[in-house]
A and B are shown apart, each in its own frame.
Chain A
Amino acid sequence: MSLAGDISAGTPRIHLSKDMQQLIYRLLAAGLLCVALSVATDAFFTTNNILNVLRQASLLFFLASGLTLVILTGGLDLSVGANIGLSACLAATVIKATGSPALGTLTGLATGCAIGVCNGLMVAKLRIPSFIATYGMLWVLHGLTYYYMAGETIHGFPPGFRQIGSGYFLGIPIPVYLMIGFLIAGTVFAQRTVWGQQIYAIGANPVAARLTGIPVDRRLILVYAFSGAMAGVASIVFLARLNSAEGDIGEAMTLPAIAAVLIGGASLFGGVGSVFGTFVGALILTLVLNGMNLLAVNSSWQPLVTGVIVIFAVWLDMIGRKRS
């Protein structure tokens, strides 16, 4: 295709034409899934179910969108799931103790962000590989949360606060608005701002980035802080939606979040990926679960079906990338 004619491999800069082509291929997998499900069951293609899928995808997206920036720099944040756990439990405690959802929300966001800054400092200043730094952080957070909660749950929050997770505005769930907001903000930040472009550049070639005068350390701290803060956002929406906090709530979410980013076309080596791609990745993972539930796929087959669809979606994407 002539659209992508001027692109040389490994260029960190973003060219919309190439992006567009890849996005079409990426959406192809999600689109095929939707078509297949629409044919298979009447319950799939209804306004209710589409909103249902979007709302379910939002939690995963919040977590994965911050993580996308980290992966763009060639790093990894394994602590996001554990981060949700601690942020949610502290936020819940504050809401219960003060009766103020605003203070609780602030606590959740601040906790998430502070954890992210710690990760960033370890990676940027102490030069600890991100996998190890955030893996260590995962255990520290689990340890703190389990100790603090001692196997208990905190539940029952004010109805006003619960609107964040379970409310509607003009017939559309609030978390869907939040997701669209973060999707736009994240895309603009990554593609249209100097800082965003610097993040791509760091991932594509950290040495070159340093030599061209990009403040690499500060940008690294920034992306981990974003990742932590988004885990904080997820923790608040989680609380508002589930009406309950327990120590292990984020545990099962780390791997799906990483998977959403990678299904969305990001590379673990950095420099490649987009927030929109991650949105599609989160959507595909959510669609798989939704489809299996609607079709009542036997529980014995569900892990296998999930695996096959994920591999198939990424394979489609690879074909797309070779073509462009």
Chain B
Amino acid sequence: MDDINDQPKPEKQPLQAWLTFAVFILIIGGFFLVNLVAPKPEILISERRLPAKLPSFDADSVLSTEFMEGFEDYAADNFIFREALRTLRAITVFNVFQMGDKDGLYQGAVGAGKIEPIKTESVLAWAAKMERLQADLASQHDGLKFFYAVIPDKSLYDARSLPGYDPVVLASLLEGRLKAYTSIDLTGALQASDFYRTDLHWDQALLGQRSGDVLDVLARALGCQSRLTYDFVVRDAGEFTGVFPGQLALPMAPDQLRYLTNPVLDKVVVSYLDPRTGEFVKGPVYDLEAADGRDRYDLFLRGPQPVVVIENPSATTDRELYIFRDSFTSSLAPLLASGYARVTLIDLRYIDYRILPQYVDFAPNSDILLLYGSQILNNPTILLIQ
């Protein structure tokens, strides 16, 4: 501001001008300097992701604007006090603007969640993929029985009538589709308290407790209800903070991570496909070591896995169940294990359907169950099947 003194008769500047000037320079210049020298985070813990790296600077990346676009992501991800600023935004949205959600994320009396309305085109694309899957399996294997169930999003059970998942809309979209499958409606089998307050998943300890709950409805539809053993014991694995507090950038009281065991579950043998070696390795149903990682929900069948096989030596049947699934099934599948000789979980997000025959032999006269959360129906492109 060298020119201030260049004025012929410099007026005395009011304090207000000096203070405003100081505030502006302090914030714009201060953040510039601090961001320049401050160490960059290796991981954005609350968001469970890596920060954007400084993009490479060369002629190609500049001419394609990749550098510039990448730089904005880098600058935002590595901004000093990022967490505090994210919280400031959340407070502004919820407490000042009094809005119901922040980018679709809401918090209410029964916990936090995300509003995700059904996407018509996505659901139809998902249904088309599942029809092709059924046609392919049925053409190669005899006696398969096909079922599908969609796990309603927890927003459906919020008392505030959120404009998220709508089973009526879904039903109308799927009308006349997936004809070779038997539909299983889980809408009435769940309630708000069945889900973790801080996460989108359900609490396993509440799935097999009452008549008409998820386990009961599925078992009845699959015809394995009489074979299931229910004498579960609830065990506590400590506190669990799901994805929503981090996404919301607001503190929330943690949930309790609980899991169910019984004598049958104690004896089952679980094999996990190691995608690096192509070999199956044995492991526990509930992996307490995995639960100490970034996502404690990985306690259940080690979280994201392409193929998991649960063998039940106590089985009174030779019937097998194959579940095409997402993360919800990790906690549910062990509870179905007592109804089958073998339960195979296939997650098409992590294994391409075309190479599946290398690792999974579909036994004749088995049950095939599609069990997907509504989030997958809205994003079917992540399923590795044509």
Is chain B a partner of chain A in the same complex? no
